[in-house]
Amino acid sequence: MTLAATTLGLGCQWTTAASGPYVMPLIMELLGIPDDLVVYDMMALGYAAAPPKPRIVRERAELTHYESYDMTKYRTDEQVREFLRSLRK
């Protein structure tokens, strides 16, 4: 659904906290959902108020493994943290 929304030029956000004991009754009341139904997840869908920020996507070759796991592509937690810090600069 996310890919379909993006293809149509829409923004969307998947929400999994909708089934919480406090949140679900509020959502059901707000949307008029009958009591015999249960909300597990929901997706907000519409036109975005602002364009999305550019995504940082690793090269596909860095993520693809053939036949077995390629340990040269392995990154430790610290390497991942450093990568994230470098994006913030």
3-39 pLDDT, tens digit per residue, is 999 899 899 988 887 778 888 899 999 999 999 998 8
35-68 pLDDT, tens digit per residue, is 999 888 889 999 988 887 887 778 889 889 999 9
The SS3 of residue 71 is helix
Structural domain count, the chain:
1
The confidence score (pLDDT) of residue 30 equals 93
Q: Could you list the residue range(s) of the whole structural domain that residue 39 is in? A: 2-88
Relative to beta strand 11-15, strand 42-46 is antiparallel
Tell me the two tokens of residue 26.
């509020």
CA angle 36–13–85, rounded 5-degree value: 140
Rounded Cα–Cα distance for residues 61 and 83 (Å):
17
The confidence score (pLDDT) of residue 5 equals 92
The SS3 of residue 19 is helix
The confidence score (pLDDT) of residue 31 equals 92
